[in-house]
Each structure stands twice: as C-alpha cells, then as structure tokens.
Structure 1
Amino acid sequence: MSKTLITLAVTALLAGCNLAPIYERPAAPVTPAWPQGDAYQPSAQPADGKAVNDLAWREFIADPQLEQLIELSLANNRDLRVSILNIEAARAQYGVSRADRVPGLNASVAQTAQRVPDNQANGEGYISRQYSAGLGIPAFELDFFGKVKNLSEAALQLYLGTEEARRAQQISLVSEVANAWLTLAADQERLRLAQDTLKSQQISYELSKRRFEAGATSGLDMYEAQTSVETARSDVAVYTAQVAADQNALTLLAGAAVPAELLPQGTLQSVTQLAELPAGVPSEVLARRPDVLSAERSLQAQNANIGVARAAFFPSISLTASAGGASSDLSNLFKAGAGTWTFIPQLTLPIFAGGRNQANLDLARTNRDIAVAQYEKAIQSAFREVSDALAQRGTIDERVASQAALVEASNKSYQIHEQRYQKGAESYLNALVSQRTLYAAQQTYISARLAKASNQVTLYKVLGGGWQ
C-alpha cells in the first residue's frame, strides 16, 4: 500500500472517514457581466429587485387564456410526465442506497428433516428433525472509509439532478406553449391578411377585366392583376395549412385536445400581453438555472464516486450475527437451554486485483473531469443564450418601429398608384408593384411583432424563470 493511500486512510479516519475529495464549485468560465454594445440595452434592475428565476410563470403570463392552456399542458404533457417518473425512479434508487447504511434484521423459522436409512441405523430407519427460530443481521459492512456513504451520496445527487431536470423541462414547456400560441396568433393574422388581400385583388382584377373587355386597355393590365390574385390565393392556402399545423403543435404540447376558447381570438398585438422583464441581472443568475444545477448535481455525484473508488484500496469489515433457539422437538424450541447464537465478523483486505482498483479510481477521476467540463459547457451555453436574447431585445423595438413605418409608407404609395390607375393616368403595373411591396411589408411587420413577443418568452426561459 502506497504512502499516499496510507495518508488518505489516516486523514479519512480523522475527518469523518470519507475519502471523497472536498467538493468545490468550479469557477464560471464566463465574464461577470452581460455583453455591452450597440445591440444591447443599458442594464437596469427592477424596482422591487425580484429576480427573474423567482418570478412564477403565472406572474409572467398575463393572458388568462394562455395561462389556462399552460396549466392544461403541465397536467397532460407526456415529456413532462416522463421527467416526473424519472424522479420517482431516482428517488427509489436513492432509497435503496440509503438503506445500505443501516444494518438489516431478518426473522427466520426453519425445519430440517432427514431420514436415516435402515443400513445406517442398525435396524429400522428413522426420521430426524431439527427446528430453529431466531433473528439475524445479514452481512453488514462497517463503513470505516465512507464507501457506502459515498454510494448513497452519489445516488442522492443523481436524484436531485432529476429534480432539476424536471424543473428545466417544466420551464421549457411553459415557453414552448407560449411561443406556439403566439405563432398560431401570428399565422392567423397572416391568413386574415392574405384573405383580405385576395378580396382586394379580385376587385382590381374584375375592374381590369371589364376595361379589357370594353377595349379601354390592353390585356397586360388584366393579366398583371390576375398574377396578384393567384399569389394571394396561394398564400391563403399556405397559411390555412400552417394554422392547422400550429393547432396540431399546441395539441401535442398540451397532451390533450385544446378547447377552442383557449386558442388566440384576436390579433397578435392583442394577445401578447406578457410582463416586462429586467435586463440588468448579474451573470451569477446562470448558476441557478435548473439545467446548470442538474449538471452540477452530476458533478457532485462523480465526486462522490471517487470516494467509492478510493475505499476499494482499504480493508472492508462486515458483520453477520444471529440469535434464537434450536431443538429437535418443536415443543422445546423456546425453552431454556435451547438458545443459540452466531457471530461472524469478516475482514477482507485487497492484496492483488490485477490493477482493477487503480483502473476504477482512474475512471472515477476521469468521469469527474468530464462532469466538470459538462458543467462549464452548461454555464457557457446558458450565457450565450441569454446574450443572444438580450441582443434581440435591444434591437427589436427599432425593428418593429421601422417595419411599422415601412407599412405606412408602402400603403400610401399603393393608394396613390391605385387612384392613378383608377383614373387611367397610368398602367396597373405601378399599382401592382406597390401592392406587392405593401403586402410583403405587412407580412414582415407581423413577423417582427411575433419576434418581440417571443423574445420576452425566450428571455424568461434562458434566465431560469420560476417554474412554480
């Protein structure tokens, strides 16, 4: 046995018999503040100082229909149900590991019957019986070096990790339902825009057709108007299918049929009443995200496994004991003089294992290093997600405002060209071009408003919003 292992053993006995390394949370491999620059708004703390991850989702979602839909999803979503069942499995496994830390107690009653043959009984054979009853402690390992304790600790951390994974799954589900609901509202608005555009272009087409039939214009204006009608009709079909797909996505997330009254009823602007969020929170909040906490729990479990691997180098002591009575006559089983007991201490000292113990220790250390890297990657990924969301938030208002101005300008241009065409001052081509520009601007404006609403949901999610 090396001097290092002897030193570890002595240290463990003096410090609570635990050979696992003292756990220290790795330093976060990110800067202590969010990125700064043209894409980001100045940081500002909320007046009440309430952290985003302390803000329950019911406080964040302001629309009552969306709130009811999220409650339906939390009750029926199958992915979330699997996460909950994983918690139950991990809790049971922890219970098994924890039970190994206390001795068991078994009760036993037995009868042994044996027939002695004639040739061994010097005459007529006979049947001998032996009865016994007692209480016994099966082989119980005395945990001098923390092996059983660290196995239990590893199971506990894995159990707590599944709890954090369930929290992360729930926050993700809340954001997915909200974003799917907002997407449905946006596509419903796009469908209404396409339907309105189709009606408008059919009127222009009928006018162009009458003028052509009257010989007032060439067929060019009529065919140009027809292209606009067919484009709008195609868009109506596309968005009709997309709305149906959005509803199917909501049904999957909800895990049940979604009542019609819980679907968006108005325009995108009227259903995105989501609470504002502060941007000025320190990056330390990332360490409280459920997925980051889950990665840290895995790291702590691997840290405990090092203690298990180290304990394999040292002796293990197990005790087996029993007490009760034994008699060849059942009636005398519990009488004086029938008592019996056994006490079997066993010491096992590893001498040669072909390098197995050292390999297991090396493996445990490597798994711990892998868990450190995974924890650091979780922090870095979380920082990137928040930074992206903050960059989107810092620029989205300008994007929405510019698109609104573009819609207004395109509408005025279209109205002028349409009036000039009605008066016969110009061909339909200019009106057609301006109409297509207006239509595209309106569609992009819907996308920009959807991006703004979705950004609020995404920011809530990536900051580790409350899951209660």
Structure 2
Amino acid sequence: MKQTFSLIAAKRPRLSALAAASALVLLSACASQHGITSHATVKAIAELTGVEKLAQAQNSWPDTQWATQIGGKPLQELIDTALADNPGLQAATTRIDAARALRTVVRAYQKPGLALSAGSTYQRFTEHGLVPPPLAGTYDTDNSVTLGTSYEFDFWNKHSAELRAVLSQEKMAEAERQSARLSLSTAIARTWLQLARQYQQLALSEQQLQLRQELDGLTARRVKAGLDNETDVQQSLLQLSALKNEINSWHEAIALSRNQLAALLGAGPERGQQIAIPQLSLKADVTVPSNLQLDLLGRRPDLVAARWRLEAGQSEVDLARTQFYPNVSISAFIGLSSLGLDNFVKSGSTIVGAGPALHMPIFAGDRLRAQLTSKVASYDAAVATYNQSLIEAIHEVADQVQNIQGASKQSQQQMLSLHAAQATVQLAQKRYEAGIANQLPVLLAKSALIGQQKLATDLSIRYSDSQINLIKALGGGYDMNPELASLPALANQTSLPSISKSTSEGAQ
C-alpha cells in the first residue's frame, strides 16, 4: 500500500499539469467562431451575361504598343516620357516597395530567431537574499552573455495566412500601378487626339474665314450694283464675326490641351508648348478584332487589383480565425553568467536552458469574435465592390463597342455627304468657268464642303477616341498574372458584339 501511494504521489505533478492544460483548452474553447461566416459570392462574367463558358480565347488584342497605331512614334514617345516621370506613378512604385518589405518581415517570422544578449551590472548584493557570504553585503558585478533562439510552431497556418495576405497585397499594389499607367497612357492619347482635332478644326475654320471674306467682298459689290440690299451685308458680317470667335475658341482650346499634356507629362506649361502639332491621318485605326472575348477583362489591371484585394481579405479572415487557437513555441539559450568578472569565463559559469511555451486566449472571446466579424465584413465589402466593378467593366466594354459601331456607321453616311459636297463644288466651278453662273455658288459650295469636312473630322476623332476607350476598358495589353488565370471570376468568358471588318473600315 505504501509503495502504491508513493507511485501516485510521483505521478501527481503530471496529473496536475494535464488537468491544468485541459482546463485551459476548455476555457479557450469558449471563444467560439460559430455564426461568423461570409455570405458574399464572387460573380463570374458568364453569370452576368447569361452565356455559357466558351473555349479559351486566343486574342492578344490590344497590343501594348497600341499608341503607335493611333499617333505614330510622337504619341508613343509622349506616353513613354510620362510613364517615366509622372509623380503619381512614382508614388505607386513606393507602395510596391513597402509591400515587398512587409513580405520579407513576415517570412522572417517563419524562421527560428537567434539573438545575442549581454549585460554587466555593478551593484551591492543584499545580505538577506540568495547571494551567500562572502559576496553578501559587498559590491561586485553581475555578468551574463547568452545566445538564444526561439521558434513558433505554425500548427494553425497562422504564418501561412500572414504570408498569403502580404503577397496578395504586393500583387494588388503591382496591379494598381499598372492601372495608373493605363489611365495615364489613355489620358495622354485622348488629349493628344483632341489636340489633333483642334488643329484640324482651326485650319478648316480659317479656310471658312477666307471664303467668308471673299463672299463679303462679292456681297459688297452686289449691293453697290443694286443686286443685293444692306440686310445681306449685315448678315454676312454676323457670320464673319461668328467665325472669328470660333477661331479664337480653337486657339484657346489648343492652349488648354497643351497645358493638360504638360501636366500629364509631369512638367510645367512650357513643356506643352514644345509638343509638335499632331499629325493624325483620317485612316488611323488600331484594327479592332472582329470577335472580341470578354475574358480579356481579366487583363484589366483594376479588376486584377480588386481580385487580389479579395485574396488578401480572405487571408486576413483566415489569420483572424487562427487567433482563437493556442500558440506553441520553443526557446533555448546557452551562455555564461557569474557574480564577479574573475569567475565569468570559467566552465562553472556556463548556463544552458530550453523549454516550450504555450499561449492561449482566455476570457478574450468577445474581442476575438469582434475582430473576426470585422475581417469578414471587410471581405464581404470587397466582394461587393469587386462584383460592382465587374458589372461596370462589362457595360463599359459593351458601350465602347457600340460607340465604335455607331461612329463607323455615321462615318459611312458622312462620306456620302462629303462626296456630294465635293461634286457640288465641281459642278458650280464648271458652271462658273462656262459663264453660266457667277462666283457666288462656287464660294457657297466650298463653304458647305468645309462644313462637311468638319463633321467628318469630328466623327473620325470620335471613332479613334472610342477605340482608345475600348483599349482602356480591356486593360491596354496588360498581361494578367498567371496565378489569377484560374480564378472563376476571371476565367469565364463570352463574346462581345462583333465588329465586322467593313464596319471598322467605315470610319476611315
């Protein structure tokens, strides 16, 4: 009986430790995650369009050098300069650097840490403590040097969730920078395009002014001859004044466009004055494919950034869930410790230690649940934002396709009007040369022709502007990170309204 009692007494410390550990586990279990789940669903393109998934598209449109097809080398050089010097893009780059640094920090936590500590304290040792005579009551140094290490076991994938979160944030920052680059590039191209329009319209308005002055001279002679009255003179003066105001407005618009281009280039207004007059051919066309696929939306950097934001949010939710579980770590150290420097380097001063540590959340259920609820709510908000962005992107692409089709059809009709105006000028010129009619019908026909040329110019610019908008809506040639290629919201695809070859040529 005595032997049995001794065995139970020997096991009592182990039983007590086990009971204490079990009690802690039960206490931590009170921090329940029950009922805290996400109810958001990431939408897919096929779901929004009602079209089943098609075969993988092979479209590589648009090309990253799309600006060359619109404005040639001068426009591409402007864009390249802006991408190198714009302060906004430099700020986006610093955000990427910060995300990469955070990734390095998180990865460092996944490895065992090693630290060296040393200390030497000169002090008086108490006579009523643990220090024995003859040191008790004397002054001496307390010295120590230790080399320690520690490692936290990732049983619940805490560090993995942290790493996934920061990696997603880094990819998100990269996509956001590309989105900023695309916005800047298309803004420069559209402003450059408007500058080309303004110069073309200015030239046509000046031609109209010259014709109006000739008409005024002819009207004055006709009034003097009694063929017209003073009302015709005043009407002519009104039209002349309107043309001069129009020319002044074009000069103002040109100056403002140059200032805007300078700002986009990250330079002062004087830089805008150095930009050469855009030379845009009416046949400029980026050759939109006849059968675009909506899977090209997966190359939109803003959507890619939003998708990485979802991945980061999901990782943060997973990280918040790991806070409900205990953390287990192990630490060890080796070193020297002594009272007095004379014994410091002796073998008897060696100290060695190792042991595990357990950290468990007790009476923290409300805080942990609130923290998890916040992360889930943030994730749901990110899903809602992404879904809304996807819907807007689909409609934006479809709208730009319709704009291109509309501009192309109107251009076809405008070409008919332009040819008719040219024929009218030729007929009036022949009648004048034959002496059948005076010069007035010729001047009026030429003025009408210039009016048709103005309309044709505006439609051509609108067609090219819609092409730029479509390029932006489809990502501008941005190559999506292959890690996202299989994500459902970016993998499903369907066809856009077709743009036939004859339609795209109509705007030329």
Same fold? TM cut 0.5: yes
Distance change in 2, residues 1:242/1:377 (3 Å): same
- Contact 1:33–1:282 at 8 Å: present in 2 too? no
Aligned twin of 1:64: 73
The reply on whether 1:182 has 2:200 as its aligned counterpart is: no
The reply on whether 1:263 has 2:276 as its aligned counterpart is: yes
Distance change in 2, residues 1:332/1:204 (3 Å): farther
- Pick one of 51, 66, 72 that aligns with 2:60: 51
Q: Secondary structure at the match of 1:52?
A: coil
Amino acid at match of 2:145: A
Cα deviation for residue 376 of structure 1 reads: 1.9
- Contact 2:337–2:344 at 8 Å: present in 1 too? yes
- Pick one of 59, 76, 80 that aligns with 2:85: 76
Amino acid at match of 1:91: R
Q: Secondary structure at the match of 2:113?
A: coil
Cα deviation for residue 264 of structure 1 reads: 3.5
- Contact 2:418–2:452 at 8 Å: present in 1 too? yes
Cα deviation for residue 166 of structure 1 reads: 1.3
Distance of 2:200 and 2:470 partners within structure 1: 24
The reply on whether 1:305 has 2:305 as its aligned counterpart is: no
Distance of 2:91 and 2:324 partners within structure 1: 39
Distance change in 2, residues 1:119/1:352 (3 Å): closer
Q: Secondary structure at the match of 2:358?
A: strand
Distance change in 2, residues 1:251/1:313 (3 Å): same
- Pick one of 26, 45, 48 that aligns with 1:30: 48
Aligned twin of 2:98: 89
Identify which range, 237-246 or 150-159, moves more after superposition.
Answer: 150-159
The reply on whether 1:110 has 2:110 as its aligned counterpart is: no
Aligned twin of 2:373: 362
Distance of 2:437 and 2:232 partners within structure 1: 13
- Contact 1:164–1:290 at 8 Å: present in 2 too? yes
- Contact 2:334–2:350 at 8 Å: present in 1 too? yes
- Contact 2:198–2:254 at 8 Å: present in 1 too? yes
Amino acid at match of 1:184: L
Cα deviation for residue 462 of structure 1 reads: 1.4
Distance of 1:435 and 1:362 partners within structure 2: 73
Distance change in 2, residues 1:214/1:72 (3 Å): same
Aligned twin of 1:159: 170
The reply on whether 1:442 has 2:460 as its aligned counterpart is: no
Distance change in 2, residues 1:197/1:410 (3 Å): same
Aligned twin of 1:207: 218
Give the alignment of 1:31-430 within 5 angstroms.
31=49, 49-52=58-61, 55-57=64-66, 63-115=72-124, 126-137=138-149, 140-213=151-224, 216-256=227-267, 258=271, 263-266=276-279, 268-269=280-281, 273-330=284-341, 332-343=343-354, 345-353=356-364, 355-410=366-421
Cα deviation for residue 208 of structure 1 reads: 2.4
Distance change in 2, residues 1:159/1:60 (3 Å): farther
Distance of 1:59 and 1:220 partners within structure 2: 52
- Contact 1:105–1:135 at 8 Å: present in 2 too? yes
- Contact 1:212–1:219 at 8 Å: present in 2 too? yes
Amino acid at match of 1:263: A
Cα deviation for residue 388 of structure 1 reads: 1.0
Distance of 1:399 and 1:113 partners within structure 2: 94
- Contact 2:334–2:352 at 8 Å: present in 1 too? yes
Distance change in 2, residues 1:118/1:353 (3 Å): closer
Cα deviation for residue 413 of structure 1 reads: 5.8
Over residues 176-230 of structure 1, what are the superposed CA-to-partner deviations in whole Å (9 max), with x where a residue is unaligned? 2221111110111111111121122122223323444565532111111111110
Identify which range, 296-305 or 279-288, moves more after superposition.
Answer: 279-288
Cα deviation for residue 411 of structure 1 reads: 5.9
- Contact 1:76–1:255 at 8 Å: present in 2 too? yes
Distance of 1:59 and 1:439 partners within structure 2: 29
Q: Secondary structure at the match of 2:348?
A: coil
- Contact 1:276–1:456 at 8 Å: present in 2 too? no
Distance of 2:424 and 2:395 partners within structure 1: 42
Q: Secondary structure at the match of 1:51?
A: coil
- Contact 1:212–1:218 at 8 Å: present in 2 too? yes
Gaps of 5+ in 2: 1-24, 480-508
Q: What TM-score, normalized to structure 1?
A: 0.80
- Contact 1:417–1:431 at 8 Å: present in 2 too? yes
Distance of 1:353 and 1:436 partners within structure 2: 83
Aligned twin of 1:42: none
Q: What TM-score, normalized to structure 2?
A: 0.74
Over residues 31-67 of structure 1, what are the superposed CA-to-partner deviations in whole Å (9 max), with x where a residue is unaligned? 2669xxxxxxxxxx99xx4422665547755711111
Cα deviation for residue 343 of structure 1 reads: 3.4
C-alpha RMSD over aligned residues = 4.0
Question: Larger Cα Rg: Structure 1 or Structure 2?
Answer: 2
Cα deviation for residue 308 of structure 1 reads: 1.3
The reply on whether 1:463 has 2:474 as its aligned counterpart is: yes
Amino acid at match of 2:148: G
- Contact 2:192–2:261 at 8 Å: present in 1 too? yes
Distance of 1:233 and 1:414 partners within structure 2: 24
Identify which range, 180-189 or 394-403, moves more after superposition.
Answer: 394-403
Over residues 402-423 of structure 1, what are the superposed CA-to-partner deviations in whole Å (9 max), with x where a residue is unaligned? 2233344456668889999999
Distance change in 2, residues 1:91/1:133 (3 Å): same
Aligned length: 437
Amino acid at match of 1:30: L
Distance change in 2, residues 1:364/1:116 (3 Å): closer
Cα deviation for residue 434 of structure 1 reads: 7.5
Cα deviation for residue 279 of structure 1 reads: 3.8
